[in-house]
Amino acid sequence: KGSDLKENSHDLDLTQKYRHLWFQCENCYGLNYKKFFKSKMNICEQCGCHLKMSSLDRIELSIDPGTWDPMDENMVSLDLIEFHSEEELYKDRIDSYQRKTGLTEAVQTGIGQLNGIPVAIGVMDFQFMGGSMGSAVGEKITRLIEYATNKTLPLILVCASGGARMQEGSLSLMQMAKISSALYDYQLNKKLFYVSIL
């Protein structure tokens, strides 16, 4: 029995040592070599399951290398309604997601080029509070749409959201109306090209 424990311990050490090289599928638990996994757009080689993708990965896949110019990077949500939670303060929760993901909010917005064509692109990130939409997320998306409208750029929005951010109450619900209004002007008044990716 002692040798079995030692052998299992050795296997565990090897697993930990090479963990950075492999990614385990959440669906079939098969191992995917990380180097190939990313180039296959986060699709499991064993079962074909489409797995989570960060906003940065989506941006890298969507636009020409070296053309990404982010907008409103430092915009963050504030605890305007002083949301009461027994677990942790809203501000602390935002801080922890910022540390965990390296993002300031649940969406990245900016300008890039797609096959040499300038485009405005916004990509939500589910890893940041479930991609929930608070006032900062709504403002960033609205500003992107307005910029695209003024510069007559094609607009791409990638949605990966769990909905409105409850910690901001009705302020988060108002964001959809604000975005819809900006999109109405962009599409119906200016008749510009908009692609929504779900």
**Chain segment 149-180, per-residue pLDDT in tens:** 999 999 999 999 989 998 888 888 999 999 99
Number of independent structural domains in the chain:
2
One domain for residues 69 and 163:
yes
If asked whether residues 13 and 1 sit together in one domain, one would say yes
Is residue 80 very low, low, confident or very high in pLDDT (cuts 50, 70, 90)? confident
What is the per-residue pLDDT across 86-111, written as a single tens digit (0 to 9) for each?
778 888 899 999 999 999 999 999 99
Q: What is the dihedral of CA 131, 77, 165, 138, to 10 degrees?
A: -70
Give yes or no: residues 153 and 180 share one domain.
yes
78 in the same domain as 15: no
Residues 83 and 177 in one domain: yes
Residues 119-123: what's their mean pLDDT? Answer: 98
Of 51, 67, 83, the residue at which a domain comes to its end is 51
**What integer pLDDT is reported at residue 13 of this predicted model?**
57
Predicted confidence (pLDDT) per residue in 25-40, tens digit = 999 998 888 888 888 8
Average pLDDT over residues 45-71: 94
The total number of residues written for the chain in this structure: 198
Averaged pLDDT score across all residues of the chain: 88
Which stretch of DSSP H or E encloses residue 42? Answer: none
Last residue of a domain, one of 13, 29, 51: 51
In whole angstroms, give the CA distance from residue 194 to residue 180. 13
- Domain end among 11, 34, 51: 51
Q: Minimal CA–CA distance to 25: which of 12, 10, 40?
A: 40
Q: Assess whether 133 and 178 both reside in one domain.
A: yes
Say yes or no: 3 and 75 in one domain. no
- The pLDDT, as a whole number, for residue 5 is 47
32 and 59 share one domain: no
Q: With 70 as the cut, is the pLDDT of residue 11 above it? A: no
Residue 161: give the domain boundaries. Answer: 52-197
In this structure, the answer to whether residues 19 and 90 fall within a common structural domain is no
Model's pTM, two decimal places?
A: 0.83
Verify that 80 and 164 share a domain, yes or no: yes
Q: Is residue 4 predicted with pLDDT exceeding 70?
A: no
* Mean pLDDT of the 121-140 span: 95
Shared domain check, 40 and 132? no
Tokens 């599409």 sit on residue: 187
- CB neighbour burial string for 109-141, b if at least 16 within 10 angstroms, e if fewer: bbbbeeeeebbbbbbbbbbbbbbbbbbbbbbbb
Question: Cβ atoms within 10 A of the Cβ of 194, count?
Answer: 14
Same domain, yes or no, for 99 and 135?
yes
Cα 184 to Cα 74, 99, 166, 175, 194, distances in angstroms: 27, 35, 26, 14, 11
Domain harbouring 179, CATH code? 3.90.226.10
Burial of 172 (0-12, 13-18, 19+ CB in 10 A): buried
- Say yes or no to pLDDT of 17 above 80: no
pLDDT average, residue stretch 111-129: 97
